[in-house]
Structures are given as structure tokens and as C-alpha cells.
Structure 1
Amino acid sequence: MVIERAAGREPLAALLFGEEGRPAVDAVAGLAVGPEGFELLNPAQAVHGNAELLRDGLTFDLTGLAPGPNCPVPPVIHRVALPSDFSCDALDAAWFMVGPHLAGAESLLPVLRVAAAILRHLTCLTGLQAVVWRPARIAMSPAWFAEAVGVWLAGGPFPALALTALARSQNGIESEGLAFLTGQEFILHAGAGGPSREHSRIAVRLTDWLVAHGPVDSPREVVLSGVGAVWIEPEGQNRLNVLPR
């Protein structure tokens, strides 16, 4: 049985490999062992290129492995820690999705933490060239993803530059993918001269705070650790305007 792309089952992530470079399920099984690993369920599905992964009572599907057909590469707008000429167009993708019983719960932090832990293991797959986090339309090097989520899983800040994207413009820094977690995106206004390195630090800290505290429904001042106060003002239901104090 091939895993179907169904409502509520868009991929959380895609693993990108060179042409004919997608691993088979037995390569995934080789990563599953160990206290920080996962369990591979239903190995009979290997012939179709599907793997069902279990960790902490939650199941996830990895489809598009060899010898099954590859999956489409999700749209990518942002790139991190990849060569300037890196292109996703010629690569083959395997999709990582929540299991059917988790459909609709994929944005909950306990689910995301388990998903991130499994994906961090999967970055060790031979031939992996990039990880795409679909909600933020961001592609990144496997090493970047593994380090960023590893710090988070060890008790550090939310990986704002791996599980969301922060895009710079002349006006400031705008998030993408945060709405997947909180229902809101923000723009951090920089004023004349555009965003500075300090604005980048504020945006990262702000992302961490918003993931921890959830949506902001009325104007308020927030003091962010290490960078000071910001003024947050909602605009409609899904956008936040942010000004450094």
C-alpha cells in the first residue's frame, strides 16, 4: 500500500537527494537503533519505498524512498547554509509526514519535538543534500538543521532559522512559517537604513518568545531576553507589527 497524500497530510519536511541517490528503507532501519532513535514499523512496506517510524508513542511516515517513486520537491523560497548556486529543481525528494492519527496535530510542540528528533537522526542518511521545512518554505544544509534542532531539543531556544524563516527587506525582518505554530506572522520594523545585526537578534528572540507564549491578541510590550523590549501590535488576526523600544 502506498502512503497517500491526503487532507491534513502535507509533508512537514522533505529530504532532498541527488538523482538516483534516494536511500532504501534498510538505510533508514540502520539509523533507528539506539536510545535516541526510533522504531521502524511494518518493514513489509519497504518494497513501495515507504517507512513508518515510531518514537515516544507517535508515528510518522517517510515516503519516496527507493525503490518507490520519488515525491515532488515542495516550494522553496529561503535557503540557509547552502551554496549560492544550490538548486532544488534537479533533486529527488522523500516526504516526512505525521501519521494518520496525528493529522491536525502536526503543529503542536510535543509533536514537533518528536518530529525534529527523528529528522535530526535522518540527516545522517548517505547522500542527503538538503532538508526542506515545508511550512516555512526553507531549504537548509543537513548539518545546519541537525545543529539548530539539536540545541532546541537539549533545552535551548526554538530554532527560528530552521523551523521558521526570517526574511530581510528594506523595511525590516519578516517571519514565514511562524503562523504554522501560532497562527500569526510578524514584521519587525527596522526604520531608515534597513535591519541591522541587532534586528536579526531581536527577530530570533521574538520567534522563541512567540512560540512559547502563543498568539498576541492586543497591543503589548514584551521584554526579550538579551535584547530588551519590543512593542507588539496585532494587525488583523494573523499579522503582528513589532517595533524595538
Structure 2
Amino acid sequence: MVIERAAGREPLAALLFGRDDRPAADAVADLAVGPDGFSILNARQAPQGQAELLRDGLTFDLAGLAPAPKQDLPAAVHRVALSNDFNCDSLEATSFRVGPHLAGAEHLLPVLRVAAAILRHLTQLKGLQAIVWRPARIVMSPAWFAEAVGVWLAGGPFPALALTALVRNQSGIESEGLGFLTGQEFTLHARAGGPNREDSRIAVRLTDWLVTHGRVDAAREVVLAGVGAVWIEPDGGSRLNVAPR
């Protein structure tokens, strides 16, 4: 029954705990209480090791809680705010996904905001070592995630360095995970000599603009707040080439 309910719903995130530190559903229920929390649904009927979380009329499933078997560790190639010796392989994972009625809607911003709010609240769970945001294959400290998402939920810019990855290479900066929201990733081409701090600022502002405005299907100039104009040109249906003006 559990496998059937999860069909077609890839996890959005994984919560990584120290060995034998995964919380039980009771600990999640205790944390849920409060104005910034959520409700636990069908607690007595839920399969062991799972919890159905409700906030703002939307439901999400948390699986892999103790004493159920741990979830598979997700791929995570980008690291943020973690020590150099941090090792995911030594940790145990739980998985977080949208509820059955939201299947196919997980990329919509209203759903994503509620998911982020619940995950931010879950960063208070004892023993939590890291959070993986799976669309971007990024693993980060709970404190980093909570701060970045908190600013967004309070009306600030989209958390480009928590819900996407911005990867520097010799010629520029590439996004990963933005396509989950807009259907397009971008390559920001640096002017000369490789990407610098200003290019990083542009990439963050550009991510926020694209999340707000959606797909770009024709070449255009966009003026980004605080960093100036960029030229955006589609390269096929799923990629954008971007150059500072």
C-alpha cells in the first residue's frame, strides 16, 4: 500500500540524521505544534515510520522515520555550509514528498512555499545533520536552509543558493534545479577571465527573476535589480544562454 501511494511522486527532499538518530513519528508530532508548524493526519492509521503532514490545506508525506528502514541516500553533488569532512555516507535518510493529491503539482510556487515552510520547521528535529534538496542535488546545513528559506517566506528573494545550485566553471555559472520550477536551466557567460563575485550576484538575481516570471521563449533584455541588464537567449527548449550587458 505504501508503494502504491508514493508512485509517481519523487521525493522533494531528504533529511539526513546521524546513525540511529532518525526520529519516530511521535517526535514529528510533538514538533508540529505551534503557529509556524503543521498538523499530523491519520496518525493511528499511518504505516509505521511514516507521517502525513498538513499545512495550508496541502499534505506532504514524510517516510523513513524510526523504526522503519531508512530511505536510500539521494545523490548530492553540491555542498553548502558544511564542514570539509562532512560525509553523507555515514548518515541515515528520511524522505519528504508531496501528498497524493498534489502529484504533478510539486513544481508550482504555492506548493513549493508550503513545502519549504514545513521543511524549515523540521530543521528543529533533534539529530538532523543536513538537508538534501533533490531537484538541485544540493546538500546543506539545516541552519543554512532555515535562514535562506525564512527570508523568502518573509517576502525576500527566492533562495537561489538553497533551492537551486549555481555552479561555477571556467567560463561562467550554470544553474541546476531551476528547471524543476521553470522548465529551463541557464548558463551565465562571464565577460572575461572566469566568473567573479559580480557574476555570482547576477546569477542569484537572475534566478529570482526567472522563478518570478517563468519561461523565456524569445531573446530579450532584462534589467535585474541591483546588478543591471542581461541578455537572455533560449538555446533549445530547456536551456538559456545569458550574458551581462
User: Shorter-chain TM-score category?
Assistant: over 0.9
| Letter aligned with residue 16 of structure 1 | L
Alignment correspondent of 1:43: 43
Query: Secondary structure in 2 aligned to 1:53?
Result: strand
Unaligned runs of 5+ in 2: none
**By how many angstroms is 1:110 displaced?**
0.3
Q: Is contact 1:40-1:51 (8 Å) kept?
A: yes
Q: Is contact 1:2-1:50 (8 Å) kept?
A: no
In the alignment, structure 1 residue 221 sits paired with structure 2 residue 218: no
Alignment correspondent of 1:144: 144
**By how many angstroms is 1:13 displaced?**
0.3
| Letter aligned with residue 87 of structure 1 | N
* CA distance, structure 1, for counterparts of residue 5 and residue 61 of structure 2: 11
Q: Is contact 2:46-2:52 (8 Å) kept?
A: no
Matches within 5 A, 1:14-53: 14-45=14-45, 48-53=48-53
Alignment correspondent of 1:169: 169
Q: Is contact 1:16-1:91 (8 Å) kept?
A: yes
Query: Secondary structure in 1 aligned to 2:74?
Result: coil
Alignment correspondent of 2:92: 92
Structure 1 residue ranges (4+ consecutive) displaced by more than 4 angstroms after TM superposition: none
| Letter aligned with residue 149 of structure 2 | V
**By how many angstroms is 1:86 displaced?**
1.2
* CA distance, structure 2, for counterparts of residue 5 and residue 216 of structure 1: 35
* CA distance, structure 2, for counterparts of residue 46 and residue 128 of structure 1: 23
* CA distance, structure 1, for counterparts of residue 157 and residue 198 of structure 2: 17
Report % sequence identity.
79
Comparing 33-42 with 127-136, greater Cα deviation is found at 33-42
Q: Is contact 1:47-1:68 (8 Å) kept?
A: no
| Letter aligned with residue 239 of structure 2 | R
Q: Is contact 1:183-1:238 (8 Å) kept?
A: yes
Instruction: Please list the CA deviations of residues 110-163 of structure 1 after superposition, one character each: whole Å capped at 9, or x if unmatched.
Output: 000000000000000000000000000000000000000000000000000000
Alignment correspondent of 2:201: 201
Alignment correspondent of 2:59: 59
**By how many angstroms is 1:85 displaced?**
1.9
Query: Secondary structure in 2 aligned to 1:43?
Result: coil
* CA distance, structure 1, for counterparts of residue 3 and residue 113 of structure 2: 23
Unaligned runs of 5+ in 1: none
Alignment correspondent of 1:73: 73
**By how many angstroms is 1:77 displaced?**
0.8
Q: TM-score, normalised by structure 2?
A: 0.97
* CA distance, structure 2, for counterparts of residue 45 and residue 66 of structure 1: 16
Q: Is contact 2:5-2:100 (8 Å) kept?
A: no
Query: Secondary structure in 1 aligned to 2:95?
Result: strand
Q: How many residues align?
A: 245
Alignment correspondent of 1:12: 12
**By how many angstroms is 1:3 displaced?**
5.4
Instruction: Please list the CA deviations of residues 32-91 of structure 1 after superposition, one character each: whole Å capped at 9, or x if unmatched.
Output: 111211000111256610000000000000000001111011101100000112111121
- Distance change >3 Å, CA 217–CA 143, structure 1 → 2: same
* CA distance, structure 2, for counterparts of residue 77 and residue 47 of structure 1: 32
